[in-house]
Amino acid sequence: MNSDPLKNLCEVADSFYRRGYAFGSTGNISVRIENQIWITPTGKPLNGLTPEHLSCLDLEGASHNEIRPSKEFPFHLAVYRQKQEAQAIVHLHSTYSVAVSCLESFDPENPLPPLTPYYFMRVAPLAVLPYFRPGSEELAAAVGRAAPSHNCLLLRNHGIICSGANLNEAVDRAEELEQTARLHFILRGEQVRHLTPDEIKELQKVYRF
C-alpha cells in the first residue's frame, strides 16, 4: 500500500484547518484507493492528522481498521457508488458557503450569481439539497441521487460537498465555491457586472460542463 495519497489527504486537511476553511472538529475528506475508502476520523479536527488516524472502509461500509470514520461516511460512500470517476471528496462547513446555504430564498437552479468564469469551470452546475440531519440515511440518499450529474453540492443549513477525479480537483472545487460565495456577500448592494449568457455559453462550449 502506497501511503503517499494518505499523506496528501492529511496535508490537505491540515491546510484547510489552518486557512479557516474548517474549524473545531468539522469537515471531512476521503479518497478512494482501489476498493478502499480512506476517510478522516470522527471527533477529531482536520489539523495534525497522520495516515494512522484515518479510517478505512469498503464501499459497503464495512470497516477495515479500528478507526471510527466521520459520521458523514454514508454520503461519501453514496457518491463513490454512484460516480465511478470520483476518487476524492471534500466536505466543509466553510463560512461563506454555509452563509449562502442559510439564506431564506434564492434560485435553486442558480444559487450563486455568474461572477467569474472559474465558478463555471470548476463548480457549476451547483446542486442545492434540502436540509437533512447530518449523518442521516436521508442525507446520504439525497447526495447519492445528485452525485451523478453534479460535482458540487450545497447542503441547506449545513455545508458543501465537492468530488473530483483526484484530491487536487476536489480541493480546487471546494475552494472556488467558497470564494465565489465570499464574493457574493462582499458585492451585495453594489452594482455588479455578471457574465452574460453568451459568455457563459462560450465557457460551456470550451470546458464542456
Least Cα distance to 8 among 41, 30, 34 occurs for 30
Residue 11 vs residues 51, 100, 171: alpha-carbon distances, Å: 10, 27, 12
- Examine the residue annotation and report whether 72 is marked as an active-site residue of this protein: yes
- Examine the residue annotation and report whether 118 is marked as an active-site residue of this protein: yes
**Grid coordinates belonging to 166:** 483526484
User: Which amino acid belongs to residue 207?
Assistant: Y
Q: Which helix (H) or strand (E) holds 82?
A: helix 73-82
Under 8 Å between Cβ of 57 and 34: no
* Marked catalytic residue, from 17, 34, 66, 72: 72
Calpha distance 206→209 (Å, rounded): 9
Peptide bond just before 197 cis, omega within 30 deg: no
Helical packing angle, 4-18 and 167-186, nearest 10°: 10
Which residues are designated catalytic?
Answer: 72, 118
